[in-house]
């Protein structure tokens, strides 16, 4: 009996010790933190609760995943606390260290943010760091230094990663602001040798040439601006957060639609969207409305006009109306053979957001009804839009060819002659450029860009 009592006492002591250890261990572990508010996206709350439950007894990565989900929802303060918890469990967690620095950055604690960014540089990054590379870290530090008006610190940070275009852009801009246009132009030209179509660097070159009073070269640079594109990002914040925002809530459902679309099976896409609409259960939230627009676009591919009109009616009930909806409704009536009603909708859409396809459809309709004047108007507008597309893409010969119908069909439109003048000027035909720009100003004497262009080519 004594042995049995001793054994029971030992078991009780062991249980007390184990429970005590579990309690201390639990008290020492970081606790996941999520916001308790009313959400525009009701689905997020359950997603966050599930992530918090996983993190409660999980690893550093589980806290990191919770923090990233909160970051994607814009809850920076809560994300920060969970990033700190992730680092408490694993100080070598590179993504959590960068995330912490980013949260401090976005909430305006610049000095602390830079300290955490520098700490990130001391860690070994995983293979895929996306927008968390050393180049992005130094760029973020440089931007923070600018927020503190520390120009020298900013320049030093931007120089840490030579050849990183966003940093080169910021460096060139700083040099220009300090009156060092010569060195600024060197940085700009070095970048343009690699990315000649860059809108950011072309604009900066224009400003630098103006500062040097090289007005003719500045004018030529201004012309290049219109034919440049946005290829050098200078703000990575949204791009960094976006993947996290797509993991949860309504955005997660949009990813389901995207994946279905990539399969190429429109029947599957329609089924997925219908399921999502049913899941959302008529909640008056933006995701519910946008699902109907996506479904209408899919039904257009499936050539199902009645379904398109049902979706459009739902959107109208929500108070939604834009060019896309008008075009979809018009397409439905076109499939039903009600062309007059379709054309009326397309005319409204063309006023709101003109495009080449829309003008062509209207031209085809007026051709079929014998209304030549309206047909010619839309054919001319189609030609002018196509010209702009080719011109902005730097395809001057194609732009000149596209413009030919507009010169005949809508010859009283000043923009037609302006673009002809620009094209001829860039192709070296000075006399034709002067003639076209003069005609443009006869039609619209207040066309400022034409006035400047004519002054330049007339010299």
Look at residue 233 in the predicted model and tell me its pLDDT. Answer: 87
User: 375-400 pLDDT, tens per residue?
Assistant: 999 999 999 999 999 999 889 999 99
In angstroms, the CA 247 to CA 244 distance is 6
Cα-trace Rg, the chain: 31
pLDDT beneath 50, residues of the chain = 20-27
In angstroms, the CA 29 to CA 32 distance is 10
* Spatial CB neighbours of 113, under 8 Å, sequence gap ≥ 6: 101, 102, 104, 105, 140, 144
Helix H or strand E encompassing 23 = helix 2-28
At 93, give phi and psi (nearest 5°). -75, 100
Q: 229 pairs with which residues across the strands?
A: 198
At 198, give phi and psi (nearest 5°). -65, 120
Look at residue 251 in the predicted model and tell me its pLDDT. Answer: 63
CA dihedral sign, ordered 167, 172, 173, 179: positive
In angstroms, the CA 425 to CA 431 distance is 9
* Spatial CB neighbours of 123, under 8 Å, sequence gap ≥ 6: 92, 94, 97
User: 242-284 pLDDT, tens per residue?
Assistant: 888 877 766 666 667 777 777 777 778 778 777 777 766 655 5
Look at residue 128 in the predicted model and tell me its pLDDT. Answer: 75
Maximum distance among all Cα pairs of the chain, rounded to whole angstroms: 119
What ranges do the domains of the chain cover? 45-124+131-226, 248-351, 354-410, 412-459
Look at residue 41 in the predicted model and tell me its pLDDT. Answer: 61
* CATH superfamily membership of 248-351: Tetratricopeptide repeat domain (1.25.40.10)
Look at residue 13 in the predicted model and tell me its pLDDT. Answer: 55
* Spatial CB neighbours of 54, under 8 Å, sequence gap ≥ 6: 62, 65, 66
Domains 45-124+131-226 and 248-351 share a fold: yes
Q: Which fold has domain 45-124+131-226?
A: 1.25.40
Q: How far is CA 250 from the centre of its chain?
A: 18
User: What is the three-class DSSP state of 229?
Assistant: strand
For the beta carbon of residue 184, count every other beta carbon within 10 angstroms. Answer: 24
User: What is the three-class DSSP state of 198?
Assistant: strand
Crossing angle, helix 165-177 and helix 134-147, to 10 degrees?
20
Q: Is 117 exposed, middle or buried (0-12, 13-18, 19+ CB in 10 A)?
A: buried
Look at residue 281 in the predicted model and tell me its pLDDT. Answer: 65
**pTM check: above 0.85:** no
């Amino acid at each position: 009996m004594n042995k049995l009592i001793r054994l029971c006492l030992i078991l009780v002591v062991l249980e007390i010790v184990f429970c005590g250890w579990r309690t201390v261990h639990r008290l020492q572990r970081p606790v996941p933190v999520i916001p308790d508010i009313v959400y525009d996206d009701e689905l997020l709350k359950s997603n966050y609760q599930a992530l918090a439950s996983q993190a409660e007894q999980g690893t550093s990565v589980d806290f990191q995943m919770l923090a990233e989900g909160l970051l994607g929802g814009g809850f920076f303060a809560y994300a920060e606390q969970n990033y700190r918890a992730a680092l408490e469990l694993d100080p070598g967690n590179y993504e959590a260290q960068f995330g912490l620095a980013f949260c401090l950055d976005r909430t305006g604690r610049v000095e602390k943010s830079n300290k955490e960014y520098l700490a990130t540089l001391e860690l070994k990054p995983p293979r895929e760091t996306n927008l968390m590379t050393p180049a992005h870290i130094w760029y973020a530090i440089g931007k923070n230094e600018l927020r503190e008006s520390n120009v020298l610190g900013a320049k030093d940070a931007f120089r840490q990663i030579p050849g990183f275009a966003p940093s080169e852009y910021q460096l060139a801009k700083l040099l220009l602001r300090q009156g060092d246009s010569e060195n600024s132009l060197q940085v700009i030209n070095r970048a343009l040798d690699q990315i000649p179509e860059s809108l950011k660097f072309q604009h900066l070159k224009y400003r630098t040439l103006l500062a040097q009073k090289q007005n003719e070269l500045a004018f030529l640079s201004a012309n290049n601006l219109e034919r440049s594109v946005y290829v050098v990002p200078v703000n990575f914040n949204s791009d960094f957060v976006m993947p996290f925002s797509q993991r949860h809530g309504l955005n997660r459902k949009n990813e389901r639609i995207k994946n279905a679309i990539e399969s190429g099976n429109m029947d599957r896409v329609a089924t997925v969207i219908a399921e999502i609409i049913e899941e959302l259960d008529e909640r008056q939230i933006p995701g519910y409305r946008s699902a109907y627009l996506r479904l209408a676009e899919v039904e257009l591919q499936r050539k199902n006009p009645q379904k398109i009109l049902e979706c459009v009616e739902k959107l109208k009930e929500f108070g939604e109306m834009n060019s896309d909806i008008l075009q979809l409704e018009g397409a439905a009536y076109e499939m039903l053979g009600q062309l007059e009603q379709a054309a009326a909708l397309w005319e409204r859409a063309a006023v709101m957001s003109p495009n080449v396809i829309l003008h062509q459809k209207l031209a085809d309709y007026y051709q079929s009804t014998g209304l030549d004047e309206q047909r010619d108007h839309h054919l001319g507008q189609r030609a002018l839009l196509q010209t702009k597309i080719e011109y902005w893409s730097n395809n001057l010969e194609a732009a000149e060819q596209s413009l030919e119908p507009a010169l005949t069909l809508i010859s009283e439109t000043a923009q037609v002659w302006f673009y002809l003048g620009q094209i001829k000027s860039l192709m070296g035909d000075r006399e034709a450029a002067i003639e076209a720009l003069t005609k443009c100003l006869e039609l619209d004497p207040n066309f400022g860009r034409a006035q400047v262009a004519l002054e330049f080519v007339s010299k």
